[in-house]
């Protein structure tokens, strides 16, 4: 049933429209849900507080005209491999979505002036590992072969609602294919720490550090249980399939999704912050915008919103939901992040070799001891003495993002405190991010300069986003947490975002959640939005 809504009031009077679903938040998961519902004949409106759609997937001229920077997300491999993209690939491509392959995916640099990297050239990767350890080269090849057998089952599990018949089918198919021993192997992978998993398979510390660095993209220090999966999947998937970034910027997926949605009759309302979720007899029946407009939904209200914002600001707390509200209050953020965007006259001259200029990502996290220290310092509220860096070089892959001969550098600083209690080096005295971010950015550039001397001299302009700045830009990134909630085991799988509500429903009838705070978590795979769309409309 369609419900009449009031969109706006103009000179000519009230303008009316009808919607089956209202999606709060135009991030890629909310848009994925909206596109699928619209494809199933639902009339859908997406309301977004910001002036542009995308959430954490935005590309902006942050430093100088003509230099396009991915504000947060850069790597679109998860989107390219997603069920949503597979389903709507033709329409999205026709709507302008473009992906650029990165044959050289990621590398780690080390203090001795060497590096180790992974690209789609298996022989080259194996040869580099062999120079460090012939035994590890053999183990890498064996792991890659095993990945071909295990990956379909792992991805099937990650691509199913949790719990669901689909997830049970994924486990059953895995059992039929790899047997009980194979299931045990995959279960151990899901539960293991990065250090335990890597120590069990390899002997060389550089190889282990190169893989373990992927854990820092989430909140998995080397000794955190459940952290082995991401280093394994990223290492093997990049070796097998490569990496992709967006043509012209990561926002290519957002622009295409918005166009596909509009082509299907959907609406996207920007600069339209939601004041409250409208409840009628305890059921979500629409939203009230900050300017007083009311938009009603006949079938569903979908919140692509952090649960603490949803059940703290948009839905008032209720004694009837006391247990649920308490669980939401206890939902932990991951560590904060800082983004440093640089317009450059040239890419860094890496001491470890000129070939590093062609990699999409260069990790500066040279050993697991350093990774553990960074995590411990950040969780204690300290500014880490030696930050862990993910240095993105998108213009090495897609030169259209900058004027001819120029570049952009994307520097993500992983594992930072949301609230500063002190400085591990005792040098920065400010205890708020507005006061500390410039000094800490200089520490970051000091590290980059150590591994790529002369980088500072190539910087044209910079834009620095502290954890607080990231939250200001996107309120879902509480404390600068780009994950929208820790991914530790007690907040993952059946427990994301809280136990009993991992299937996108909430205690409020007609109100659903999607986004990075829900299963399967952070990343650009659009998994939660697409799965929710299928659950609602088939």
Residue 10 has pLDDT above 50, yes or no: no
Nearest residue to 359 (alpha-carbon basis) of 209, 242, 240, 525: 242
Q: Which of the pair, 316 or 236, is modelled with greater confidence?
A: 236
Please report how many Cα atoms fall inside a 13 Å half-sphere around the Cα of residue 334, on the Cβ side: 31
Residue 16 has pLDDT above 50, yes or no: no
Per-domain residue ranges of the chain: 3-57+75-98+249-331+485-537, 137-238
Q: Report pLDDT digits (tens) over 122-145.
A: 999 999 999 999 999 999 999 999
Query: How far is Cα 301 from Cα 313, in angstroms, rounded to an integer?
Result: 15
Query: How far is Cα 438 from Cα 457, in angstroms, rounded to an integer?
Result: 17
Average confidence score pLDDT of the chain: 95
Name residue, tokens 């500390």.
436
Q: Report pLDDT digits (tens) over 254-302.
A: 999 999 999 999 999 999 999 999 999 999 999 999 999 999 999 999 9
Residue 495 has pLDDT above 60, yes or no: yes
Please give the angle made by the CA atoms of 34, 230 and 219, to the nearest 5 degrees: 85
Residue 9 has pLDDT above 90, yes or no: no
Peptide bond into 27 cis (omega under 30): no
8 A C-beta contact, residue 75 and residue 523: no
Please give the angle made by the CA atoms of 52, 261 and 295, to the nearest 5 degrees: 70
Beta bridge partners of 160: none
Query: How far is Cα 293 from Cα 47, in angstroms, rounded to an integer?
Result: 11
Beta-strand relationship, 407-416 and 388-392: antiparallel
In this prediction, residue 500 carries a pLDDT of 94
8 A C-beta contact, residue 96 and residue 259: yes
Q: Report pLDDT digits (tens) over 103-128.
A: 999 999 999 999 999 999 999 999 99
CATH of 3-57+75-98+249-331+485-537, one of 1.10.10.10, 3.50.50.60, 3.40.50.10860, 1.10.150.20: 3.50.50.60
Peptide bond into 497 cis (omega under 30): yes
8 A C-beta contact, residue 108 and residue 366: yes
Q: Report pLDDT digits (tens) over 27-75.
A: 999 999 999 999 999 999 999 999 999 999 999 999 999 999 999 999 9
Residue 316 pLDDT class (50, 70, 90 cuts)? confident
| Helices and strands, counts by H and E, the chain | 17, 23
Residue 3 pLDDT class (50, 70, 90 cuts)? very low
In this prediction, residue 17 carries a pLDDT of 53
When pLDDT is averaged across residues 510-535 and rounded to a whole number, the result is 98
How far, CA to CA in Å, does 111 sit from each of 206, 349, 375, 411, 452?
11, 15, 20, 19, 11
Residue 6 has pLDDT above 80, yes or no: no
Other beta carbons within 10 Å of 207: 23
In this prediction, residue 300 carries a pLDDT of 98
pLDDT > 90: what percent of the chain? 96
In this prediction, residue 462 carries a pLDDT of 98
Tokens linked to 389: 């860096």
Residue 223 has pLDDT above 90, yes or no: yes
In this prediction, residue 11 carries a pLDDT of 32
pTM: 0.95
When pLDDT is averaged across residues 194-205 and rounded to a whole number, the result is 98
């Amino acid at each position: 049933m369609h419900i009449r809504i009031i969109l706006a009031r103009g000179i000519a009077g009230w303008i009316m429209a009808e919607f089956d679903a209202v999606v709060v938040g135009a991030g890629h998961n909310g848009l994925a849900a909206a596109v699928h519902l619209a494809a199933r004949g639902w009339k859908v409106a997406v309301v977004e507080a910001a002036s542009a759609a995308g959430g954490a997937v935005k590309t902006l001229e942050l430093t100088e005209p003509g230099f396009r920077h991915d504000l947060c997300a850069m790597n679109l491999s998860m989107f390219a491999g997603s069920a949503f993209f597979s389903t709507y690939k033709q329409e999205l491509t026709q709507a302008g979505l473009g992906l650029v392959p990165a044959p050289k995916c990621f590398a780690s640099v080390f203090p001795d002036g060497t590096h180790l990297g992974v690209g789609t050239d298996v022989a080259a990767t194996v040869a580099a590992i062999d120079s460090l350890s012939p035994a590890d080269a053999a183990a890498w090849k064996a792991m890659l072969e095993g990945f071909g057998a295990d990956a379909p089952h792992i991805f099937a599990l990650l691509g199913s609602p949790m719990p669901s018949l689909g997830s049970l089918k994924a486990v059953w198919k895995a059992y039929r294919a790899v047997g009980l021993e194979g299931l045990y192997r995959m279960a151990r992978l899901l539960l293991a720490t990065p250090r335990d998993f890597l120590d069990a398979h390899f002997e060389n510390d550089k190889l282990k550090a190169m893989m373990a660095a992927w854990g820092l993209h989430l909140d998995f220090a080397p000794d955190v249980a459940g952290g082995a999966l991401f280093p394994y999947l990223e290492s093997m998937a990049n070796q097998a399939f490569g990496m992709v970034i967006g043509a012209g910027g990561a926002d290519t997926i957002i622009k295409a999704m918005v166009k596909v949605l509009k082509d299907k009759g959907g609406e996207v309302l920007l600069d339209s912050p939601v004041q409250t979720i409208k409840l009628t007899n305890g059921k979500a029946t629409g939203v009230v915008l900050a300017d007083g407009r009311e938009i009603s939904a006949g079938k569903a209200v979908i919140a692509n919103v952090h649960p603490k914002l949803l059940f703290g600001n948009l839905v008032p707390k209720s004694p009837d939901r006391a247990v649920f509200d308490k669980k939401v209050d206890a939902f932990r953020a991951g560590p904060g992040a800082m983004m440093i965007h640089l317009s450059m006259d040239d890419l860094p001259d890496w001491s470890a070799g000129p070939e590093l200029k062609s990699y999409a990502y260069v990790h500066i996290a040279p050993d697991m001891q350093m990774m553990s220290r960074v995590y411990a310092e950040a969780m204690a509220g300290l500014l880490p003495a030696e930050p862990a860096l993910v240095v993105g070089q998108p213009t090495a892959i897609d030169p259209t993002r900058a004027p001819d001969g120029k570049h952009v550098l994307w520097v993500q600083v992983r594992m930072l405190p949301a609230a500063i209690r002190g400085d591990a080096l005792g040098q920065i005295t400010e205890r708020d991010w507005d006061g500390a971010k410039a000094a800490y950015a200089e520490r970051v550039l000091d590290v980059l300069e150590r591994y790529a001397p002369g980088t500072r001299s190539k910087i044209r302009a910079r834009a620095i986003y502290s954890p607080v700045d990231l939250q200001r830009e996107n309120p879902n990134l509480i404390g600068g947490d780009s994950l929208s909630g820790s991914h530790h085991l007690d907040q993952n799988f059946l427990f994301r975002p809280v136990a009993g509500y991992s299937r996108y429903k909430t205690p409020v009838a007609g109100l659903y959640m999607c986004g990075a705070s829900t299963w399967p978590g952070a990343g650009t795979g659009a998994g939660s939005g697409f799965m929710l769309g299928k659950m609602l409309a088939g």
